[in-house]
Amino acid sequence: MKGSLLLDPVDRRILAELQADASLSHAELAQRVGSSTASCWRRIRSLEASGVLIATVRLVDAEKVGCGVNVLCNIRVRDHARGTRADFEAFIRSRPEVMECYSMSGDWDYLLRVVAADVFDYEHFLMHILLDQPSVGGASSHFALSLTKYTTAMPV
């Protein structure tokens, strides 16, 4: 695979454990993966330096902070000029309600995952913010009815 590193079984166990609980101490982590604390610390630093480990974060329950509506929104840009795409992507990076954005192949140019408090909150975002962007040519929204699976853990 392009850009992938060769990881040994201990590195993979470290990644799996940290994805499950990033608050583990180096001693706890070392015990769980069968390594010494010093070796575990060196491996973590190496994984960080190589870009395998990117950030340490805490996940927030969307419902409990008033963002319980998930909308998948297909976007068509007005044209495919470099400036149009750059403007759209800069706009998307600035919007906190846009959780994910993918450049797509096929009929639509981008796929967004947007969180909102309710349908009216999303309608405001769509009609008064998103569609007002000069780079946006059209949008199609799909409301998630329920969540079957959600994970941030990469299979290692």
Domain 9-49 in CATH 1.10.1740.110: no
Q: What is the pLDDT of residues 48-90, one digit of tens each?
A: 999 999 999 999 999 999 999 999 999 999 999 999 999 999 9
**9-49 shares its CATH topology with 63-143:** no
pTM: 0.88
* Digit-coded pLDDT (tens) for 128-148: 999 999 999 999 999 999 999
Q: Assign 127 to helix, strand or coil.
A: helix
pLDDT at 100: 98
Q: At 112, phi and psi to the nearest 5?
A: -110, 150
Domain positions in the chain are: 9-49, 63-143
pLDDT band, very low/low/confident/very high, at 8 (cuts 50, 70, 90) = very high
CATH topology (fold) of 63-143 = Alpha-Beta Plaits (3.30.70)
Averaged pLDDT, 96-117: 98
Cα–Cα distance, 116 to 96 (Å, whole number): 10
